[in-house]
Chain A
Amino acid sequence: MIDFFTAHAPVLAIVFFIFGALTAPVLGKINNSLSYYCALITTALSFVLSVYLLVSVYNNGPLEYFLGGWKPPYGIEYRADILNSFILSVVSFVSLLSIIYGYGSIKAEIHEKRRPAFYSVYLLFIGGMMGILITNDIFNMYVFLEITSLAGYALIAMGRTRYSYMASFNYLILGSIGATFFLIGIGYLYMQTGTLNLTDLAQRLQGHFDTNVVLVAIAFIIVGLMLKMAVFPLHFWLPDAYTYSPSVISAAMAGTSTKVAAYLLIRLMYTIFGIQAGFSGINFSGIIIVISSITILAGSIIAISQTDLKRMLAFSSIGQIGYVLIGTAMVNKYAFAGGLLHILNHAMMKTALFMVAGGFFYKLTSTKINNLKGMGRQMPFTSTMFLILSLSMVGIPLTVGFISKWYIVLGAAQSGNWIVVPVILLSSLLTAVYFGRVINTLFFKESEPSGAENLPVKMPYSMIGSTAVLVFLCVFFGVFAYLPAEISLKAAESIIGAMPWK
């Protein structure tokens, strides 16, 4: 039995979710809470499986799995290396904690009749992301990207306000345009090489980087994926989508979906395009560094002027995805490790922050910053968690936010991209400004009697517990940064060192 699981681990990571997504609504017919346990067990199993994959890949090197026994140029290959199994663990961990958190908040926010469908779509959403991460076939990536996005549109539309539908619709239009651009890019690459397997593509593309077909393919793919990951001028869908979706979904999405798109871009940049080669006289690394610098600053500046807590966190997310991109675009081991670490760190911090925002929403049924006056006294534990997470976002030492910024700055200094250092320092300052404003409101402003403050609403233990776990890990990995840093350094070495044309 164990042998079966270990032999088929890469494909089981997705099969669990598809099976769970089909089972949850059926179980919901029998008993509503059964479908919750179905979602819980599925995500827990896949978390165990991804940790197993990570340990196995860390010790024994990359794992290849051929679907149906067909070898790569003809068949579909699933491949787990240290880069994607690391992000796989992050995604499944965030999704597990979100569904535990959801035990309390889904009851308050989603109608009983819709819950089985909700769990089913949630499992599809996470399963699609696992598929993007583990497949080594570029068309498979497109299909899984669309599965994730379609599930995402449905999940956002389940928010409590009626504007959720409009947020979902805008995301649908922009997300489909992004995915279609990605599809066109795949078409051009197929035109040039006649293959869809990433490893095969990388070999066959060598010597063809100067052709217009490949350049157009790269342009379409980069723009399409940047739309999906909400890089600055293409970010318009994200704030509404995060603000109007249910608390669980804001938490899970902020931790996973944009980072998976970032992984896709990193994978394509390094595995097939060879970003450090700077082919055809175009300095791709430099272009992406400039774009992500603008993203970091713009996200932080717009976040300052927001009046809604969830919306502020959403704009902050746009800025933070810039860190991932800027770290991985500077072709340097430490910067790359910093970018990867920021995927883990930001997933923990931002998920926990959205969980805290969901907690305030649970109590106040509003996330306007003005309504949070004096909440530091009424919800001391939640507010303290918010304080710790804010310090981590700013990048105070002994928290995870510091570790990833430290590595990115180290890599920037090593690779000579000095422009990155002031960008990161300035953005930390701006982060301190907009989180400082919320902390000021929480702890130092007198609460106005609005009737809501004395409501006997207690946050359920599942919500407080899962947030507390993430906050604890934010501090734990900030002090004992050895383990994640070691894994991401090894991933950076394997990705940057594995360039055949370097």
Chain B
Amino acid sequence: MIEFIADKYNFWIAIVLMMIGFYAIIAKHNLVKKVIGLNIFQTSVFLFYISISKVNGGTAPIIWHPEEHAKVVYDNPLPHVLILTAIVVSVSVTAVALGIIVKLYKNYGSIEDDEIKIRELKEPELDSK
């Protein structure tokens, strides 16, 4: 049992991180905390991708000296490339989210989503742009 857990520890960490991120997205009212939760959630998927690309005894897929290192085992480079793209996507999502939060703060003076809903109900349809 212990071996089963220890053997696949990186997948367990990915699952735990994912649940932490999911909890933050669902339970927190502060919008910045929600964005941080989203980041943790996405990072867990990056960890998962990196884990599946690991080859036993493999090293980083970089060619140094082809004649000396002819028998070197490399990790699978493709998931690394894929996740690089996904990281860029995640950074853009965070940037857009933070931009929206700045605008929300300017319009409502708050970044708590329950607070924003209450203010919207009190004084709706204010054209403040």
Closest A-chain residue to B38, C-beta based? Answer: A176
Interface mask (A372-390 → B, CB under 8 Å = 1, otherwise 0) = 0000000000000000000
> Assuming the A-B contacts A150-B92, A150-B93, A165-B100, are A187 and B107 also in contact, with contact meaning beta carbons closer than 8 angstroms in the complex?
no
Establish whether residues B104 and A166, one from each chain, have CB atoms under 8 Å apart when the complex forms.
yes
Given contacts A157-B103, A183-B45, contact A162 B126 (CB under 8 A): yes
Q: Which residues of B contact A146 (CB under 8 A)?
A: 89, 92-93
What residues of B have a CB within 8 angstroms of the CB of A157 in the complex?
A: 100, 103
A172 to chain B, nearest CB (A): 5
Tally of B interface residues using CB under 8 Å: 36
Quick one: closest B residue to A366, CB to CB?
Answer: B125
Compute how far the CA of A453 lies from the CA of B117 in the bound complex, rounded to whole angstroms: 31
Q: Which of B42, B97, B126, B128 contacts A169 (CB 8 A)?
A: B97
Which applies to chain B's interface (DSSP): helix, strand, loop or mixed? Answer: helix
Q: Do residues B96 and A180 form an inter-chain contact, with CB atoms below 8 A?
A: no
Asked whether, in the complex, the Cβ of A187 is within 8 Å of the Cβ of B100, the reply is no
A394 at the interface (CB under 8 A from B): no
Residue pair A166, B116 in contact (C-beta under 8 Å): yes
CA distance A153 to B103 in the complex (A): 13
Interface of A is mostly: helix
* B120 near A153: Cβ-Cβ < 8 Å: no
Closest Cβ of chain A: how far from B113's Cβ, in Å?
A: 7
B86 at the binding interface (Cβ < 8 Å): yes
Query: What separation, in Å, do the CA atoms of A154 and B97 have in the docked complex?
Result: 10
Within the assembled complex, what's the spacing in Å between the Cα atoms of A339 and B128? 42
Residues of chain A within 8 A (CB-CB) of B128 are: 162
Given contacts A111-B129, A139-B82, 19 further A-B contacts (CB under 8 A): A146-B89, A146-B93, A153-B100, A154-B96, A162-B126, A162-B128, A165-B107, A168-B100, A169-B31, A169-B97, A169-B101, A172-B96, A172-B100, A173-B25, A173-B38, A176-B38, A176-B42, A180-B41, A187-B45
11 contacts between A and B (CB under 8 A): A143-B89, A150-B93, A162-B127, A166-B104, A173-B25, A173-B34, A173-B97, A183-B86, A184-B45, A190-B52, A190-B82
